[in-house]
Amino acid sequence: MIPFIQLFGLYVITHGAGGPGGGFQGGVVFASAFILYVIAFNLTDGGARFPESGNIILSSLGLYIYAGIGLLAIFFTLGAAQYLNYGFIPFTSHFEENRALGMDFVEIGIGITVMAIIVSIFFDLALKDGDGKEEEEEGSR
């Protein structure tokens, strides 16, 4: 179990914003932990570890966060601000802090989606009875 926990620690660090890193990289490292686990312990049926439904929900959740934060900017200002102008979402009272928080949320959203997608790609490609359902990945900014 130790490698698993080690990797867990590693990707949480990398996952943070404000350093070299960001959503996509953090997501990939996160995903590679799962993959490494499956490879190390030779689970031919990783479906038990990471169910298909979990995949669907997680990837969609991440995307909802990313796109939704942008839409919130429009909602809260009744159309005065533009999409993705997160300065206007009333998390706190300061414009700059709002922006930083908005960015963080978007990065987290990206990270969740990327992780779910990469794990699902790995499972579809590597396991014996893939059903050929091709999941697409978004080009994140």
Which residues contact other proteins (rule: CB under 8 A)?
Answer: 18-20, 22, 24, 53, 56-57, 59-60, 63-64, 67-68, 70-71, 74, 79-87, 121, 124-125, 130-141
User: Interhelix angle for 95-126 vs 23-41, to 10°?
Assistant: 30
Could you identify the residue written with the tokens 């990837």?
59
Nearest to 60 by CA among 112, 131, 12, 103: 112
Write down the least CB distance from residue 2 to other proteins, Å. Answer: 29
Closer residue to other proteins, CB minimum distance, 3 or 130: 130
Write down the least CB distance from residue 138 to other proteins, Å. Answer: 7
Closer residue to other proteins, CB minimum distance, 9 or 130: 130
Q: What are phi and psi of 138, to 5 degrees?
A: -85, 145
